[in-house]
Structure 1
Amino acid sequence: MSDLITDFPALLNYWDFDKNIKIDVEKITVTSKKHINWKCPTCSYEWKASVTKSYKNIQNHSKICPVCELGEVFIKGENSISARIPNFLRYINFHYENIETIQEEIDNLSFSSKRLFHFKCPTCHVGWKDVANTSKLINKHNQELVHVGCNESIHFVPYTKAYPNLRKIYLPGEQNDVEFNDLKLNDNITIPRNWKCDKCDNIFKLSIDRLISRIKRDGFYCNNCKATFDTVIKVKATPLLHTDRNLFKQFIPTLVKSNMIDSLSDILVRWQCFKCHGQYECSVIKRHFEGCPYCDNKLMLKGYNTLQETHPYLEKFWDKSNDKSISEYWHKSSECINWKCPCCNVNFHCSPNEMISRTDLENSNFQTCPNHCDWDTLVFNNDILYNFPKLQEEWSEKNGLPVHLALSHIETKKYWWKCSVCQGEYLCSIPIRKEVINSCPYCNDEQVLKGYNTIADTYPELCDLWSSKNLEKPDEVTKSAESENKIFNWICDCCDLEFKERLGIVLGVFTNNNSNSLNSICPYCNKKLPKPNETLSYVKPYLNNEWVKELNGDIDIFFYDSNALTNWVCRKCHRSFKAKISERHENDQCCPYCSFKKTAKGYNDLETTHPWLIKEWSSVNKQEMSSVRFNSTYTVWWKCPVCTGEYQQVIKEKYYRENSCPYCRNQKVLKGFNDLATTQQSLMPEWDYLNNLLIASPTEITELSNLPVWWICQENLNHRYKIQVKERMAYKKRKKRACSICKGHRRKQEHFVQLKKI
């Protein structure tokens, strides 16, 4: 492999052709320690560095500009935090940062600064501490800053749809700098705002995040009257869908519909648990911190947490004389009921809670039956899982031994279990299995079980939209949190084009929008990416060779009529420049060097394009001839090769005029070249020096001058007459008498000095 710099276009793109004009780029190797000039094609910043150092940087970072790409050199307005991250302040936590000085600080810090900021997502209210260029925040195509995995698709949702209840207490007009209708889920939530209680008219100041935390924690928003949002609202949107999708899925519409509540409502509604499928009533705000009463063992639910489900082994001790069945009691029942020892058949009374303690193998505080029968051996056969019927059911035959012979207290010893739900077999130790009831890796989507938890099984309609370019097949991927953050290739069912998207977003479209189509997230259908016949490379193929992929990215992701400002390398002069894609056409004038809008030394400078003018360039000029162009409007000094006179003229005019010397064209006087005393020496005896003393000197005018001056008649030295220089020259050429006195013309009295009398 060659180690010439020309073989690395990414590095060559930073080469400063103007300042390195004396260096042959085709002979420089990437291991050279020579310091040369570099120029960023994006921001035009210039710096000096060795070739080998720049090569290592391009290998490690792919981009090496110390200003706009690495942020090592700070230039205010170019690479400050505020310039690079326009919506940065929306995610700043002003409970910790100073709101009065933060703007000045981010204006004077590079985007790569190591300064740690306090952030808080305005959508999910999660806070963290990180540098400004944090990986948790990204800029989308529309330059909107979003929190990764949070508000990528809902950051634009207004508060009128997400928290309509807050409108009731939000003060309008000048009381707040932003109207409620303009608030969105990506607006800063740590800035104090003004509120007014709709019950007691108490006015208070509080940030949105602390107000929402107060409502969810205490239930009320007003400290004065303890007011809550206890009345229904009516909006066209579904607020819970934007703020808490899990609650929305558990909500059961009754008289209260989903558009009548938001996550801050203090209204009793009905819910259905995903796990136990039990229905219960709870207000929305309490539902945030209170779980399902059946799953939390606060209430009994038949078929889920009764003694028959949680302690089925107690049926061996059940006395049929009881009025109710065992399925009508649970482990918290305090009522004393009848039990019967299966060993000695003796009857005794105790509560279900006490009976559970009696049957515990590790029991040391309670007797078994009144006769102290050994239930461990006689009833349970030393089965350590007698109290875990689900685990007994899932003990796998692959273990090759009964459960009472297993090592039940060693966490490192793993045994096989066969899940009663998915029928998949997996390894797990007994202590962990007893502690974590739902430990099946297939049911938890931690491992793949074909035919049960793969994408092909749970979302079979996605198989037709799954691209063959993916390294994994749909029957090899689950919907785990890790997989949902992975990016896969998809085929849009509308345009048949492939695009990349996270699995979680695709599944969200299928589950939340009840749609089997991907057109809502397809970048081609939504005009975020161009279709093949709309790409720049297809419509304008002649620009392919000028495209700089290392800086712009793939050319096929840009529309042919895009207004994006991108980097180009001219096919003629091989220099970098910036131009809008929409302005580029075949044989256009976008290259500033080929169109003579910018100067490139050695290519379009005046010294290169018009070398014959070098001899006329005056040394008086502060600029070099190689720093200007032929169409420049600068006024510079020139030295005429004919008369050697120096004169000022615009460069552009010099180019368009064949004879531009004002002395040679007799527009200006150059003593010793075109002055009257030099060109008409024979007339100097007729020049009246005394009377012309205050009028002109023969060395300051030309023979074409219109200035009237005094002359001495050579026929009569006492005659003094006054005519224009130009007119006197005409008389001379025609060899006629010029003296007006000799010709007898009437003349006005003139006051002049007689030379002889003096």
Structure 2
Amino acid sequence: MPSKPNTGCSRADVVTTHPHILAEWDNTANRHLRPLELTAQSDDVASWHCPNGHSYTATIADRCLRGVGCPKCEEVGEGAAAGRPSEGKGSRGPRRPRPGRSLAELHPDLAAQWHPTKNGDLTPADVGASAQIEVWWAASCAHGDWKQLVAKRAEGQGCRDCGRARAGAARRRPKSGQSLADLYPEVAALWDPSKNGELKPSDVAANASAAVWWRADDCEYDHSWQAIVSNKVRSSGTCVFCSNQRVLRGFNDLATTQPHLLAEWDYEANGDLLPVHLVAGSQTPVHWVCSERTPRREHRRRGLTATAPPRHEAETGRMT
């Protein structure tokens, strides 16, 4: 979301304070941003085109206040230092790091997380560990690839989304003795550690409204599903799919368990509702067509919506 528009009396927008950076402004990619409504302190990420034809992204603050420019050019010394007016002929950007000072040499563990394709020709050997350059890092969590300043990564910062999740969990951490693990250890035992990331039963309150992943000890199919913590405390520990409380396509849906009924499903009258959306014990009223007894149009005129035709009542008696 763009930063709050500049509505003060003084002209502090980037057009006034840093007009030189607008020569590299990517109008097409930045159509959601307006320079007249952005200040030099803005943390909005914008797209840029350097004089050497490279495209890159950087925040407004990085360009205006920290001199961050094209990551490809800065590390090999091409062109003037981006984000600042040229200081004359021969003005160069930061040079390649001295031997022993590159990210690859000082932090080989981070260099291993460097994205192999999204950073172009730039490599961990081309940047210093304190470089104020935002680059792509390969996915090491469920949030996928992400961008972060090299210096921030060297300081120990990782995926921003993971950081926000940890911060949110810390703010909501229950008091001692009030967590799900403390009050309902039998429910906490159903917690799915493989899909809940770093979040643990000791991190959430028993009345939390967060939806997390659960498993059932007695499920032979190893099913996993999401449910709100406070609701799970009040429910049973049985698998929601094996007990037909929820539909799992290909496992307990009507098309899988009762395929002989598909020929009599009225696809036109039932609209977007399909056999794969219901279990055999569903109480949802649906339309049926009996090709041997009554034409489709007669069933529709009679408003047959609650049950299958009489010939099939024994087979679908629970589907009313």
Measured against the shorter chain, the TM-score band is 0.3 to 0.5
TM-score by length of 2: 0.33
Q: Using CA pairs under 8 Å that are at least 6 residues apart, name the structure with larger relative contact order, 1 or 2.
A: 2
